[in-house]
Structure formats: C-alpha cells, structure tokens
C-alpha cells in the first residue's frame, strides 16, 4: 500500500491546488484560531456501561442527553469565531477514496484483531463506515463464540474521541500522530492519520513514531501533554500518558537549522486521574497570562521541571528549573499566573478535579471554559477578563468583538465528568502567527 499511499498523497496535493486547502500551522497556544477539528459526542458515549467504563478510561458514565446540550454550547461558540471541521465528516470524505478505505480498514483490522468483520466493513459506504469506525460494530451473534461472548461489540466504540486533542497534535507545520498510552485509543490515531494524509482540505506533514527508524516500544505521547508556547518553545508533560521516550521522539522531529528550540518538561503525578495531562494543571490564556494549578506548578514538590535545549534535532543540554513560570521567564516569556480555584487550597483541589485549569484560547485573551468552576472564573474576572455566557454569544445577544479580554463560560456539569475540559475537546489545525 505504501506506493499507493504515495500516489494518493500526490493526487491529494494536486486537488488542493484548486480547493484552497488549509495548511497546518500552529506556532502558539493563543494565536487567533483559523481552523479546529472537533468530534461531537454521539452513541459511542452512551454505549459505555459501568462494566466497561474503566476499560474505556472513565471513572463514571456520562448522560449523553445532558452532555450533548453542553457540547452544543461549546461547538456553537467556536463556530462563531472560526472554521470548524467534524471528525466524522472528514473521515467519511476520506473514505470515499476506495484505496484509502481499504488501507484504513486493513490497519484497523490488524490493530483490533477482528479479521472476521473485514468483509463487512468493506461492504459499507463511506458514511456508514465512518459511523461504524467511531461508534463501534455490534456483535451479530452469528457464531457460538459470539453468542457466548459477554461483549456487546466486535469493534469497540471510541468512547473518548470527543477529546480530539489527544490522538494528534499540530506543532508548527507538522501533525504528530500520537502513539497513545492505552490500546483502546489507538484507532483514534489511525483515523486522524488517514485524514491528514489523504483529505484534500489539509496540507499536512505527519510524523508517526510507529513508522520511525527511531521506533521504541516505550514511546507514548498524547496531545493534552503537548503545548506550543512559542515557535521555539514547547511545554510537554510527562506522566502516565506521555513518556520520556515520547519526548525524545518529539525533540528529534522539531529539528531546525535556523534557531535553537526549547522543550520545558513537567513531571506529573501518576494519580489521581485529574493530573492525566499537563493541560489539566497549566494552560495559556494571553500573551502574558496563564492558568495554573498552584500546588503542582509553583509550590515545592517532588515533580521536576526540566529544560531541554534542542539543536538540529539533538538534545544539547538538560537542566532543572524551579518551575515552568521561571523557565519561560528566562526565555523571554514573562507570564502572570492566574490560580485555578483561587487562593483556598480546598477550592483549588475541587476545581482542578473538574478541569478548572483547562481553558482553550481562540484568540489572545479570549478563552472558553466551564462555568461550574466559580472560584476560577472569579480569579479571571479579577485579572481583567469579562465573563460572558456561551448561550448569549450563540443567540447574538453579545458579541465577542466587543471585548479585549473575555472568558466564555459553558455548562460543564456533565462534560467535566468525562475527565477533560475545553482544550481537551479541540484539535487546532491553524492559528494566526503571533508577533511577540
């Protein structure tokens, strides 16, 4: 298929010349958003049960009817400010190419070890196949083994896919196809790789550690741990989802002959689950402001902050820093930290648990997050952010262009129980460049 894949990529590039495709470019966390990929949660979320929740990486099950309403607020705001792509639509359009359809099905079958449904998948049209690859393939009970199985699905639903941040990461002009820590999420990465390799709407260079000559079975990396601070600076968390080997791989792939690059690595606790990614304790808000969970980021603890200097794809120096804030200050990025949960430790812990540090910037100083974290929202207000409700923006009762600094609040009582926030639910593909 590799020769066919190269041929398809060439065809895709030719198509793009006439279709005005979007070139991947992410040089910061705050530049004005020009394109973002979302996945609206669907039946794959409702097909989670208490019995399979742990396998699906959840500690609870979500009510889709409630979570769906909250998500519509989130999506509605982003549709007001940028070009929004939906994973299912992109996947269906990608699968319309027969060779790509065969290629992706083969990879899914190989990964999931479900060879007996290959013919069934090949028979599907592009729209139905996209749905099955995301929502799962139910067991048909056409064999004794299937009949006696306690499983409901031959191909499991992708319960986590509405957290589109993790499977792939846009860094500068490259899309990293992340080798995620849990096997249950590998299909998400396969889907995103097919979209970026073959869909004519994007010009993307992909980097997949599974295909690298530097492959290491210990590599894992997820988008919630990867933050683009500036063109020359990455922040990467290392913990249960992103390994040191994954960071070494990223360091090799951000080679630049024009400038030195820096990676600030933050060690994260193995538990509780609210520390799953770096963006659960640190996110960028503006040129000079960030949201932090103070006990981990600023207070003395056993979790190190490490500064890697990268020249021509090689790590040339490694040193420890006191914290992320001081490390960025030394690199010419002074930031005022705003405290998740405010000044009281109990409120900090409660609101961090519900993604209180996980904000998504759609322009400098313009962010979106959960309204349930009231102490965090109050801290943002004290720091000059106007607070507006998502439903007022969607209804046209308020206009984001009227604000220099604003936090848009969405209902998140149900969505937050999935273990992620606004940044987790977005995969940006292009932002305006920032003049620092």
CATH code of the domain containing 250: 3.75.10.10
Distance CA 9, CA 21 (A): 14
Lowest mean pLDDT among 44-58, 102-116, 297-311, 360-374: 44-58
Are the beta carbons of 365 and 285 closer than 8 angstroms?
yes
Please compute the mean of the pLDDT values over residues 419-436 and round it to a whole number: 96
Distance CA 135, CA 131 (A): 6
* pTM value > 0.75: yes
Are the beta carbons of 334 and 328 closer than 8 angstroms?
yes
Q: Which residues are CB-contacts of 387 (< 8 A; sequence separation ≥ 6)?
A: 377, 380, 381, 406, 407, 409
For residue 218, is it within any domain? Answer: yes
Domain assignment of residue 234, given as a range? 2-102+157-431
How confident is residue 100, by pLDDT bands cut at 50, 70 and 90?
very high
For residue 111, is it within any domain? Answer: no
For residue 307, is it within any domain? Answer: yes
Pairing between strand 22-23 and 202-203?
A: parallel
For residue 118, is it within any domain? Answer: no
For residue 119, is it within any domain? Answer: no
How many domains, in total, are found in the chain? Answer: 1
For residue 65, is it within any domain? Answer: yes
For residue 147, is it within any domain? Answer: no
Q: What is the pLDDT of residues 345-392, one digit of tens each?
A: 999 999 999 999 999 999 999 999 999 999 999 999 999 999 999 999
Q: What is the 3-class SS of 133-150, one letter each residue?
A: HHHCEECCCCCHHHHHCC
How confident is residue 214, by pLDDT bands cut at 50, 70 and 90?
confident
For residue 146, is it within any domain? Answer: no
pLDDT at 3: 37
Please compute the mean of the pLDDT values over residues 149-161 and round it to a whole number: 86
Q: What is the pLDDT of residues 44-86, one digit of tens each?
A: 988 766 555 444 444 567 889 999 999 999 999 999 999 999 9
């Amino acid at each position: 298929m590799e020769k066919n894949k190269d041929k398809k990529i060439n065809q895709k590039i030719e198509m793009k010349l006439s279709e005005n495709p979007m070139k991947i470019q992410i040089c910061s966390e705050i530049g004005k958003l020009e394109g973002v990929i979302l996945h609206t949660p669907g039946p794959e979320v409702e097909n989670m049960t208490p019995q399979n929740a742990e396998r699906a990486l959840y500690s609870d099950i979500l009510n889709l009817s409630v979570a769906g309403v909250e998500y519509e607020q989130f999506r509605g705001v982003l549709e007001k400010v940028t070009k929004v792509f939906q994973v299912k639509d992109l996947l269906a359009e990608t699968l319309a190419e027969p060779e790509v359809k065969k290629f992706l099905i083969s990879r899914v079958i190989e990964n999931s070890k479900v060879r007996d449904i290959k013919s069934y998948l090949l028979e599907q049209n592009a729209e139905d196949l996209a749905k099955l690859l995301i929502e799962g393939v139910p067991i048909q009970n056409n064999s004794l083994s299937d009949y006696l199985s306690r499983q409901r699905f031959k191909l499991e639903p992708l319960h986590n896919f509405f957290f589109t941040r993790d499977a792939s990461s846009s860094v500068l002009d490259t899309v990293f196809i992340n080798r995620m820590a849990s096997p249950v999420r590998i299909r998400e990465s396969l889907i995103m790789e097919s979209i970026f390799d073959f869909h004519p709407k994007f010009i993307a260079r992909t980097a997949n550690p599974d295909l690298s000559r530097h492959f290491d079975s210990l590599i894992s990396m997820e988008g919630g741990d990867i933050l683009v601070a500036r063109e020359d600076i990455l922040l990467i968390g290392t913990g249960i989802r992103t390994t040191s080997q994954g960071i070494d791989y990223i360091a090799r792939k951000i080679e630049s002959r024009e400038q030195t690059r820096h990676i600030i690595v933050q060690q994260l606790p193995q538990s509780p689950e609210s520390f799953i990614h770096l963006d659960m304790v640190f996110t960028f808000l503006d040129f000079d402001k960030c949201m932090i969970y103070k006990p981990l980021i600023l207070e003395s603890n056993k979790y190190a902050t490490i500064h890697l200097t990268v020249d021509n794809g090689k790590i040339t120096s490694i040193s420890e820093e006191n914290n992320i804030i001081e490390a960025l200050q030394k690199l010419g990025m002074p930031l005022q930290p705003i405290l998740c949960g405010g000044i009281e430790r109990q409120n900090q812990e409660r609101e961090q648990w519900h993604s209180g540090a996980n904000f998504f910037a759609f322009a400098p100083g313009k962010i979106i997050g959960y309204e349930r974290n009231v102490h965090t929202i109050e801290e943002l207000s004290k720091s000059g952010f106007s607070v507006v409700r998502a439903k007022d923006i969607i209804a046209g009762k308020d206009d984001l262009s009227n604000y220099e600094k604003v936090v848009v609040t969405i209902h998140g009582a149900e969505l937050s129980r999935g273990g992620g926030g606004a940044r987790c639910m977005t995969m940006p593909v292009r932002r305006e460049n920032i003049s620092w």
